[in-house]
Amino acid sequence: MALLAGFGEKSRLGVLLGHFSAIEDPRPSHRVAYPLAEVLLLAVCGTIADCDDYEAIGLWGEQHLAFLRRFLPYHHGVPTGRWLTILMNRINPTLFSACFTDWVRACWPDRPELVAIDGKTSRRSHDRAAGQAPLHLVSAFATTSRLVLGQEAVADKSSELTAIPVLLERLAEGGGLKGAIVTIDAIACNGDIAKAVRAAGADYLLAVKANQPTLCREIEAFFADAPQASLDRVTDTDKGHGRIEQRTVTVTREVEWLSGDRRFPGELRLPDVAAIIKVQSKAELKDRCRLETRYYITSAKLTAEAAADAVRGHWGIENQLHWVLDVVFNDDQSRTRKGHGAKNMAVVRHFAINHLRQAPEPVKPANTGLRRKTQKPPAPRPTSLKLRRKIAGWDLAYLTAILQTKAR
């Protein structure tokens, strides 16, 4: 697929469409009015420019056809929302996700330090008449660089255990996870997932909850009786949003008792256990005080400070990905549900998130408000993703800047 000069050789969108040239178009070549590259460009541009479904994307494309023709020919114009839905329903979602992961690796070649894996349900993508459950997507998120690394669709939350090894294998290609710490919630606290993480060249950090009651009780008892000299501890305090929260993270590397001979049938066995972690949090709110204790197990030899960063970093996937999808991209309100459309649209939103997070700041008008001569102008605040989407829809120059951002 030859890309036009409008992309630039090293632009992220140019690299993206280059990777997607590997996707086989299921349509007979003599009947193709809208080539796959044009469909993908329209979907990505429309999603960045504040469109949340195929109908809105099609209408946006009709109004901005001249802009799209800067990059690709669009000899037959753009598909309507109905045709766009049909076309996106036909694309193989597995290959679509694999190409997305390859694109991320090409544009951001640095290996991630912390990778959080978690699932999210698009609640309104169900089809009761057909007995179809809503889309559930397991995503991998680099919490330090705030990039989506990949995703895998599953039938429901209980199927996450089958999707996580597939996602890990894809991310691990070319040593993509070597040296990283992979954090996953308690659903993945089992030997198979831990082995898959270690086979990928990464360390695991797994939450231990009631789904592993024996292990949870033993870790709790160990910390209750452990000599203080064997523990590494750090405490930090956060203030904001009407509460004060104090967290104490305690780590011990005395874990030989977890790697001894099997003591009873069916005992959980995790490979290369290096440390166990206890996190105690105390949140003081206006009308109450909330106490919570959580436990984790890891194959990384972490200090208390590093463990606190890793545990806290895991929640980045909730705050910086899942929350953004719901609030900024209206993911929970999406009614796309036929064929592969819901899965592929979820991947398109991930394209848009990565583009927007790495985009340059939009040019803001100078603040001409009255101010004393001795007063310094306030420091500029980063533009939110929600506003970046709206500005990209209003200002084609800013959308062009987003699309032509250079890959590393």
Query: Reduced to 3 states, what is the DSSP secondary structure of residue 176?
Result: coil
pLDDT at position 1 is 41
β-partners of residue 135 are: 122
In sequence order, the 6+-apart residues with CB closer than 8 A to the CB of 112 are 142, 144, 145, 147, 149, 177, 180
Q: Are residues 43 and 22 in the same domain?
A: yes
Q: Are residues 204 and 281 in the same domain?
A: yes
Q: Are residues 315 and 173 in the same domain?
A: yes
Q: Are residues 161 and 252 in the same domain?
A: yes
Q: Are residues 49 and 109 in the same domain?
A: no
CA dist., res. 149 & res. 167, Å (int): 10
* Helix extents (H) in 253-340: 304-314, 316-317, 323-327
| Plot region of 131 (φ>0 → left; ψ -120 to 50 → alpha; else → beta) | left
Q: What angle do CA 93, 94, 100 make, to 5 degrees?
A: 85
Q: Are residues 46 and 171 in the same domain?
A: no
Domain with 52 in it: 5-92+340-360+385-403
Q: Where are the beta strands (DSSP E) in 180-330?
A: 181-184, 203-208, 232-240, 243-252, 275-284, 289-298
Q: Are residues 35 and 135 in the same domain?
A: no
Q: Are residues 86 and 101 in the same domain?
A: no
In sequence order, the 6+-apart residues with CB closer than 8 A to the CB of 165 are 192, 193, 196
Question: Which residue type occupies 336?
Answer: T
Residue showing tokens 């848009």: 352
In sequence order, the 6+-apart residues with CB closer than 8 A to the CB of 88 are 39, 43, 54, 339, 340, 341, 344, 345
Domain contains 333: no
Burial 326-353 (b: 16+ CB within 10 A, else e): eebbebbebebbebbbbbbbbbbbbbbb
CA dist., res. 251 & res. 302, Å (int): 8
Phi, psi of 280 (to 5 degrees): -110, 125
Domain contains 371: no
DSSP 111-143: PPSEEEEEEEEETT--BTTTTBPPEEEEEEEET
Query: Reduced to 3 states, what is the DSSP secondary structure of residue 240?
Result: strand
Look up the CATH number of the domain holding residue 151. 3.90.350.10
DSSP 185-198: -GGG-SHHHHHHHH
- Rounded to two decimals, what is the model's pTM? 0.86
For residue 50, with 0-12 CB atoms within 10 Å meaning exposed, 13-18 middle and 19 or more buried, which class applies?
buried
Q: Are residues 22 and 109 in the same domain?
A: no
Q: Are residues 58 and 144 in the same domain?
A: no
Question: Which residue type occupies 248?
Answer: T
Q: Would you say 180 and 202 are in contact if contact means Cβ atoms under 8 Å apart?
A: yes
Domain contains 366: no
Centre a 10 Å sphere on the Cβ of residue 407 and count the other Cβ atoms it contains: 18
Per-residue confidence of the chain (408 residues) as pLDDT tens digits? 444 444 455 677 788 878 777 777 777 776 788 888 889 899 999 999 999 888 999 999 999 999 999 888 999 999 998 989 888 888 888 888 888 898 898 888 888 999 999 988 876 555 555 556 677 889 999 998 899 999 988 876 667 888 899 999 999 998 999 999 999 998 888 889 999 999 999 999 999 998 888 889 999 999 999 888 889 999 998 887 677 888 999 999 998 888 766 666 666 788 999 999 999 998 888 778 888 999 999 999 999 999 999 999 998 898 899 899 888 988 877 766 566 878 888 889 999 999 999 888 887 665 555 555 555 655 667 889 999 999 999 999 999 988 888 776
In sequence order, the 6+-apart residues with CB closer than 8 A to the CB of 140 are 115, 116, 117, 148, 149, 150, 151, 167, 171
Number of structural domains the chain divides into: 2
Domain contains 65: yes
Phi, psi of 182 (to 5 degrees): -100, 120
Q: Could you read off the pLDDT of 57-66 as tens digits, one per residue?
A: 999 999 999 9
Q: Are residues 309 and 350 in the same domain?
A: no
pLDDT at position 408 is 66
